[in-house]
A = this chain, B = another copy of it.
């Protein structure tokens, strides 16, 4: 059972993370330490070549990690990324992107996980990008 619901994440975003709304992120699945997030197709995300730009993909991956961390520890809004490594593997199509995230480690102070990103409907082509990231968990938790 996840320790936070998609609705609770959306509420945090409404209150203090406007970026997620601008990007249109949608949590389509949430487990404990895992999640799937969808980023819709938007013209603003296109780059030369008609594909989705890298920053949009990294934003999606970072958000998916945030959701996965909160799904494991509960409502700790102040969890922050300390490092993120992104490898772009294939040219994404100009469509929606799906992020599959799972934590590989959940410690008291740090969480580490990986995110695989796919063009929606072209998952069989393999991931368009692969991200690993570390989140720092603040000592005083207000939730979970």
Interface residues of chain A, those whose CB is within 8 Å of chain B, are 12, 16-19, 22, 43-49, 53-56, 58-59, 62-63, 77-78, 80-91, 104-105, 110, 112, 114, 116, 126-127, 130, 132, 134
Contacts and interface: CB of A to CB of B under 8 A. Distances in A.
Given A81-B88, A84-B85, 14 more contacts: A16-B47, A18-B46, A19-B53, A19-B56, A47-B80, A48-B78, A55-B58, A55-B59, A58-B62, A81-B86, A85-B85, A89-B112, A104-B126, A104-B127
B78 A87 contact: no
A19 B48 CA distance: 11
**Copies of this chain:** 4
Main secondary structure of the interface of A (DSSP, over half): mixed
Contacts of A49: 77-78, 80
A91 B65 CA distance: 19
Contacts of A81: 54, 86, 88
A54 B18 CA distance: 13
Contacts of A104: 89, 116, 126-127, 130
A76 to B, nearest CB: 10
B17 A53 contact: yes
Contact of A59 (B16, B59, B116, B134): B59
Between A53, A56, A91, the greatest number of chain B beta carbons within 10 A of the residue's beta carbon is seen for: A53
